[in-house]
Every structure is written in structure tokens, then in C-alpha cells.
Structure 1
Amino acid sequence: MKEFVWAVSIICILLVFGVVLLKYLSENKKYKNSSYGKQSQKSFWKIISNQGARGEYRTSQIIDKAPFKNKMLFNCYIPNRSGDKTEIDMIMLCQKGIYVIENKNYSGWIFGNEKSKNWCETLKGKKYFFYNPIKQNRSHIKNLEKLLQVGEDKYVSLITFNANANLKKVSTESSGIYVVGYKQLKKFMKKQTDKSDILTDEQIENIFQQLLPGTKLSDEEKQEHVNRIKQQYKK
């Protein structure tokens, strides 16, 4: 009897392992065929093991299914006003404009407005503050426009939050600025089809080729950027 129970247990474990393996292989294939996977130099395992990268990838999956043609750039480094580099999470190029996307990995209730210096994450009764992502993205757009020189009217500032965040009280005032939760992102993308075209396919390709080298930094260069940011916060 013990041998029978042991055999059944082994079979169940193998079946579970097989299901998990098949699921992983299926998701790995999706990743490799996605815009994020094609551009990333990292394995699927490294992406899903990192909270920030995993959030960006999940967001990119929705954008990949947008009802219009687009080109994506991920973790793109561009020069900033101090002469160093700044990293932009995602840039979507399409005929509707240049969508500069700041993806946030927070959980719980989110509170904030366009003008406040910091926003608040409330989780399990505790409050955590983080720099206003609208201000952060505004700085990205200014640096990007200085580089591209295509006109400030071409940009859309899009702040996205992942599935665990609940945008409890978030407000914006200026046009061209959007804060969208994960569950609302698909609907937001669909609405963009109503906008007039402001970029040609040729402009999109030129901008893409101009920015693409910024996605190919070495791990050493990226670490230098991280160290520089840490030093700035210490001051």
C-alpha cells in the first residue's frame, strides 16, 4: 500500500512539473516573439524574476495588441541636460505621436496630482512616498525633444501602473498627460485611434533609428548610470 501511495505521489509531482514546464515554455515563446523580447538582451527567466522588468513586459504585451501600427523602444538611454544619461522606460512611436511611457511597480492605493512633488502609495495601512511620475516624465520629454527637435506637440506623457495598483485619487490638468492603470490600458490604446495622425511612417522610422542605439548599452554602462543616480540621492 505504501508503495502504491508513493508511486501515485511521484506521478502527481511529475504531472504538476510537466504542466508548469509547458506553461513556462509557452510563455517563453510569447516573450521571444514580443517587441520587448526581440529588443531585450535578457532571458525570459531574468525578466520575470525582476519586478521592474516584469512590469514593463506585461505593459508592453498590451501595447503590442494596440489596434494601430507602432514601434517600441525599451529602457532607452538619452542625454540629459547635465551631460549624463537618463533612462526612459518605454517609448511608443506611431502616427498618433511619440508616447513617452513611465511604468510604475507600486501596489495598494495610489494618490497624487499633477502639481504635487510626491505621490503616495498606501499599502497595508502604511504610507510610502515617491517622486511625482508626471514631473519625472516631463523631464524625459524635455530631454527627448532637445535630442530629436520634432516639436513639443508631438509628445504624449503616459504614466502606467501595474495590476496591483489601485489609482484611488489621481488627477491631471494639462492636455497630453495620462495616468492609466493596467486594466484600463487596453481601453486607452483603443481610444488613440480617434486621434489625428501627426507623424509619417518615414518620421517614425527616422526617430526609431536615432533612438535605437540608446537601448543597447552594456551592463557596465547601465550599472554606471545606477551608481550615478545613487550618488545624486546621497547629496
Structure 2
Amino acid sequence: MNLSFFYPLLLLFLFALFIKWIKSKESKWIGSIGEYRVRKEIEKLEKSSPGMYKAFHDLYIPKMDGSSSQIDHIILSEQGLFVIETKNYSGWIFGDEASKYWTQVIYKRKEKFLNPIWQNKGHIKALKEWLGGEFVHIPIYSIVVFMPRAKLKSGIHFTQSHVIYPKQLKQILEQYRTKVIDNERKQYLAQKLKALLVKDKQQEKDMKKQHIQSIQKKQKHIKEHVQQNRCPKCGSTLVLKKGKYGSFKGCSNYPKCRFTQNVS
């Protein structure tokens, strides 16, 4: 048998497997690059203003239902807490505070992704619940950071969150000058947040696995209820509606319940 015939096929097969593996890791790597760039900006802030800012990265906030909320970065200062969500998208980005989904446009290709302001709002809610009543008066500010490769649609005014690029982070933090946390309370809060940091690679791996499983479980719960035309939030009937961006299913208990799900 002439084995030389099979070598090119074997190489082609291995190359295809390699490409598949690269694609499976691509989103994770891209996200990590974005978080790294923001982290470097935060580290510069900490070095230029010693003692003013204390940063915590990649935190998993335990929620009351047993799941967790993953926060990219938290900055603690005398002015309050800043919760940062990093988005490493490219192309044109369209969206506003009221839309459940934003749109990424690269040439003629459009991709929808969850409104990052809503996403960070969920992170802040989980953080507030975890901190408890003793920190209820401490202000928590939302910051969404896009990489320079993304071009945000101009003319949109945001009131619930800052939507910025990494280089603007220092400018945003310096807008807040009123001291609301004394040093003793700041140290106590830092210890609480420090307790959420992962201790080693194995714990980090376990936390990420649990976090992904909780997300998948939630998505499965939503999918099953939507298929049965039942609202996964309150149990009411879902009704088909038409909106600005196409058809969607909405809760019949609106406005008490505002659950919606796009219909593809």
C-alpha cells in the first residue's frame, strides 16, 4: 500500500481539528484580551494615585438562588464602588439603554448581544444583595468599557452607566470627588471583596465551571418555559407581539412583568 497518499489527508484532517480548536477558544481569548487591557489601565491608576483606588478582578458574586454573577473588575475608592463590564467587540456598535439587545455591525454582517448596561445592572444588583444592608448607602457606579476597535454610535446619551473606552477610565473616576466612605469602612469593605478572590488555578477552574453550569441551567429553564408559552419569571402566559426590531414573545402580565424573548 502506498502510504504517501494518506499523509496529505492526515495533515488536512489534523489542520481541520486545529482550526476547530482555535475557533472554540477564540471568544475566550478575545474576552481575556479586553479584560487585560482594562486591567492595565486600572493598575496605572493604582500606581499614579497610591491608596486612592483598590481594584479587584474577576470576582464571582454568590447569589441567593445558588448561582453566581461574574464581575470583570471592581474599583473601591472613598467615592464609592465602580463595577466594570468589559466588551471586546469590533465594528460599529448600535444600542441604547432601553433595548434588550445591542447590535454589532461588521460590513453587512449583524450580530446581536445582550445590552451590556442591563448586564452590568444585574451584576450590581447581585453585589448589593451580597454586601447586605450595612452597605446600602454606598453608591455603586456602572462602567461599560469597549475596546478601541469598536466604534460606538454617536449621539446616544447614557444615564444609567458610563459607556467608554479604556483610556477614558481615569477621566471618569476623577469626576467623582465627594468622599462617602471613611478609611476604616473602606478597609473593611476591601476585606469582604478580597474574600471573593480565587485562591488558585483549580478554584478558578471550579468557579468558572459552576458559573457556566448555572447559566446553562437558567437558559434551559427559559427555553422550556418559552416553548410552553409560559413566562419563566412569573408563570403567566406569553403572547406574540410585533416590535420595532421584529416579532417577540412578551409576558401577558406586562407592565408588572417585563419578560420578553425574541422570536427568530
Q: Normalising by structure 2, what TM-score?
A: 0.63
Are residue 70 (structure 1) and residue 49 (structure 2) matched? no
Q: 2:189, 2:138 → 1: CA distance? A: 15
* Deviation string, structure 1 residues 74-121 (Cα, Å, up to 9, x no partner): 110112242211111110001111001111111111111111111111
Are residue 233 (structure 1) and residue 227 (structure 2) matched? no
Q: Give the Å deviation of 1:205.
A: 1.9
Structure 1 unmatched ranges of 5 or more: 1-48
Give % identity. Answer: 34
Secondary structure at the residue paired with 2:73?
strand
Secondary structure at the residue paired with 2:215?
helix
Are residue 200 (structure 1) and residue 185 (structure 2) matched? no
Q: 1:118 to 1:201 in 2, by over 3 A?
A: same
Q: 1:60, 1:205 → 2: CA distance? A: 21
Q: Kindly indicate which of the two structures has a greater share of residues assigned to helix.
A: 1
Q: 2:118, 2:99 → 1: CA distance? A: 9
Runs of 4+ in 1 over 4 A off after TM superposition: none
Name the counterpart of 2:159: 173
Q: Give the Å deviation of 1:154.
A: 1.2
Q: Normalising by structure 1, what TM-score?
A: 0.71
Are residue 114 (structure 1) and residue 97 (structure 2) matched? yes
Name the counterpart of 1:160: 145
Q: Give the Å deviation of 1:58.
A: 0.8
Name the counterpart of 2:65: 82
Q: Give the Å deviation of 1:153.
A: 5.0
Name the counterpart of 1:21: none
RMSD between aligned residues: 2.2
Mean CA deviation greater in 151-160 or 111-120: 151-160
Q: 1:152, 1:81 → 2: CA distance? A: 21
Q: 1:54, 1:201 → 2: CA distance? A: 33
Secondary structure at the residue paired with 2:169?
helix
Q: 1:173 to 1:190 in 2, by over 3 A?
A: closer
Are residue 224 (structure 1) and residue 207 (structure 2) matched? no
Are residue 132 (structure 1) and residue 115 (structure 2) matched? yes
Computing the radius of gyration from Cα coordinates, the structure with the larger value is 2
Contact 2:54-2:76 at 8 Å conserved across structures: yes
2:179 is matched by which residue type in structure 1? D
